[in-house]
Amino acid sequence: MTGRPAAEFGPVGDAEAQRANRGDWDREADEYQREHGDFLGNAGFVWSPEGVDEADVRLLGDVRGRRVLEIGCGAAQCSRWLRAEGASSIGIDLSFRQLQHSRRLDDETAIVVPTACATATGLPFPDDCFDLACSAFGALPFIVDVAAALGEVSRVLEPGGRFVFSVTHPMRQVVPDEPDGEQSLHIVRSYFDRSAYVELDDDGVVSYVEPHHTLGDWIGAIAATGLVLTSLLEPEWPVGHTRGWGAWGPGRGAYLPGTAIFSTTLPTVRS
């Protein structure tokens, strides 16, 4: 959120959040890819600003031959890594401009990822058609109705399938945007206040939304959709990793988690 216009906190509905965020990601996609493309790698799978790399952590397990859905894929770098590992991966994203960057990377890498412009709360796929699903800060940090999105993932996953996703750690809500200044560890908001971070344009129209869900909210939503939580990774900021990313940086990263990575499975028999 660093460097963005002044904002307020308040209630916002899921439809309004999605409308606003689609426009914001279309506007910001070029700058996002310019700023973070090298760090992500054209065919890399980075889970978070801490640099957690799927090549090291293997949260998805063996992906060879697996049908994988990437949610909020952006330029689909993760799906490209998955394809290079032998998976059959496809991506969806709300932002058409992000998907145009995916097309660009198709040409640059000769690894072609099929994509669809769609929302995580209405996946354009039949039931039980993926073995795995993943999301690296895609969609879920921007969705108000996370139970709807998790329900969709649960629907399209084959029983026994796995869904792993990274999101902004809920503790991020309580501290300021600036990750490394003197104030970076000061508590400025209540962890329990579910108000969303909301930006307004010059006409007062909502132009960007980041909802807040506590850890308990996430775990409750996971359980409500029939998924089973198997691990929660709160990556530490690696010593010597100096590259910050917006509100994520080494200063605060030494004390507080900035990312939560949830690993879940769908039981072989649906509940």
Ligand X SMILES: C[S@@+](CC[C@H](N)C(=O)[O-])C[C@H]1O[C@@H](n2cnc3c(N)ncnc32)[C@H](O)[C@@H]1O
Asked if 102 touches ligand X (CB under 6 A), the answer is no
Asked if 134 touches ligand X (CB under 6 A), the answer is no
Residues 6 or more apart from 184 whose CB is under 8 A from it?
175, 176, 178, 249, 251, 252
When binding is defined by CB under 6 A, the residue of 63, 105, 123, 139 that contacts ligand X is 139
Least Å distance between CB 23 and ligand X?
10
Rounded CA-CA distance 80/14 in Å is 30
- The stretch among 57-65, 68-76, 199-207, 217-225 that binds ligand X (CB under 6 A) is 68-76
In this structure, what token pair is assigned to residue 168? 């902004």
Asked if 133 touches ligand X (CB under 6 A), the answer is no
Asked if 40 touches ligand X (CB under 6 A), the answer is yes
Least Å distance between CB 270 and ligand X?
24
- The stretch among 137-145, 199-207, 213-221, 251-259 that binds ligand X (CB under 6 A) is 137-145
Asked if 165 touches ligand X (CB under 6 A), the answer is no
Closest CA to 3 of 252, 179, 209: 179
CB closer to ligand X out of 134 and 175? 134
The answer to whether residues 231 and 271 touch, using CB atoms and an 8 Å cutoff, is no
Distances from the Cα of 1 to the Cαs of 144, 173, 207, in angstroms?
Answer: 17, 11, 13
Sequence letter at residue 71: I
Q: Counting Cβ atoms within 10 Å, is residue 260 exposed (0-12), middle (13-18) or buried (19+)? A: buried
- The stretch among 69-77, 104-112, 186-194, 260-268 that binds ligand X (CB under 6 A) is 69-77
CB closer to ligand X out of 52 and 139? 139
From residue 72 to residue 101, the character string flagging contacts with ligand X as x (rule: CB under 6 A) and all else as - is xxx------------------xxx--x---
C-beta nearest to ligand X: residue = 74
Residue 252 Ramachandran class (φ > 0 left, ψ -120 to 50 alpha, else beta): alpha
When binding is defined by CB under 6 A, the residue of 20, 21, 81, 221 that contacts ligand X is 21
Q: Counting Cβ atoms within 10 Å, is residue 65 exposed (0-12), middle (13-18) or buried (19+)? A: exposed
The answer to whether residues 54 and 89 touch, using CB atoms and an 8 Å cutoff, is no
Rounded CA-CA distance 35/143 in Å is 24
Size of residue set near ligand X by CB under 6 A? 19
When binding is defined by CB under 6 A, the residue of 20, 102, 138, 165 that contacts ligand X is 138
CB closer to ligand X out of 94 and 133? 94
Rounded CA-CA distance 31/136 in Å is 18
CB closer to ligand X out of 148 and 232? 148
Rg (CA), the chain: 18
When binding is defined by CB under 6 A, the residue of 142, 163, 197, 218 that contacts ligand X is 142
Binding site for ligand X (CB under 6 A): 18, 21, 25, 40, 72-74, 93-95, 98, 119-120, 136-139, 142-143
